[in-house]
């Protein structure tokens, strides 16, 4: 995984938008995004979450602006960003698991941030995982269930945890487990 000081970290790909007034940025969301668009997206997201049909899910994801490659599998209860789903790209044969969430925005105290989320070709996001704005998940990468992805995931890597960290191969894990037991 890349670290946050890397020139290509997610923070470099996230755009900050200052918000006016003394209250937090979530209070100003209607000036950031049309309430009509958010309501429409919410309805489609609800249908996407409960539909068992992958064809219907991919069609609806496309209607709200998600770039959907061929053969994408979107799990039940998985949630795309409701405010900026157009910032999500799912490349060919990507899998987004049950109850996973792809966020393209962060509402903070004095600003909100937006950033693209890219899920590479044949990448897999496990059940219940959360991917933050600006994160790129490389081709053939795997995100373990219930992980919080705060950094890019290199192609072919497996990450797990909160925050998600790259896992070594099975041999590396066996050796480090053996060292701890001695």
Domains and CATH numbers, the chain: 10-181 (2.160.10.10)
Report the greatest alpha carbon distance in the chain. Answer: 61
- What sign results for the dihedral spanned by CA atoms 46, 49, 51, 57? positive
Query: Both tokens of residue 6?
Result: 């890397």
Distance between CA atoms of 80 and 87, rounded to whole angstroms? Answer: 10
Burial 30-65 (b: 16+ CB within 10 A, else e): eebbeeebbeebeebbeebbeeeeeeebbebbeebb
Dihedral (CA of 138, 97, 53, 64) sign: negative
The pLDDT, as a whole number, for residue 169 is 64
Q: Please report the pLDDT score of residue 1 as a whole number.
A: 52
Q: Can you give the pLDDT at residue 10?
A: 85
Please provide residue 41's backbone torsions phi and psi, each rounded to the nearest 5 degrees.
-60, -45
| Per-residue pLDDT at 141 | 98
- Taking the chain (182 residues) in consecutive chunks of 10 residues, what is each chunk's mean pLDDT? 56 87 87 94 97 97 98 98 98 98 95 96 98 97 98 97 87 48 44
């Amino acid at each position: 995984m890349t670290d946050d000081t890397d020139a290509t970290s997610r923070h470099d790909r996230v755009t900050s938008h200052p918000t006016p007034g003394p209250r937090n940025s979530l209070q100003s969301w209607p000036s950031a995004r049309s309430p009509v668009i958010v309501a429409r997206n919410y309805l489609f997201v609800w249908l996407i979450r409960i539909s068992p049909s992958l064809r219907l899910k991919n069609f609806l994801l496309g209607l709200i602006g998600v770039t959907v490659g061929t053969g994408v599998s979107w799990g039940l209860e998985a949630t795309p960003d409701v405010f900026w789903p157009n910032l999500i790209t799912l490349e060919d044969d990507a899998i987004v698991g049950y109850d996973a969430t792809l966020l393209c925005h962060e509402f903070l105290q004095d600003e909100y941030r937006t950033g693209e989320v890219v899920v590479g070709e044949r990448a897999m996001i496990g059940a219940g995982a959360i991917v933050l704005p600006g994160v790129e998940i490389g081709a053939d990468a795997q995100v373990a269930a219930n992980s919080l992805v705060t950094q890019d995931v290199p192609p072919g890597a497996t990450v797990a945890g909160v925050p998600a960290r790259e896992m070594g191969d099975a041999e590396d894990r066996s050796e480090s487990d053996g060292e701890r037991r001695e």
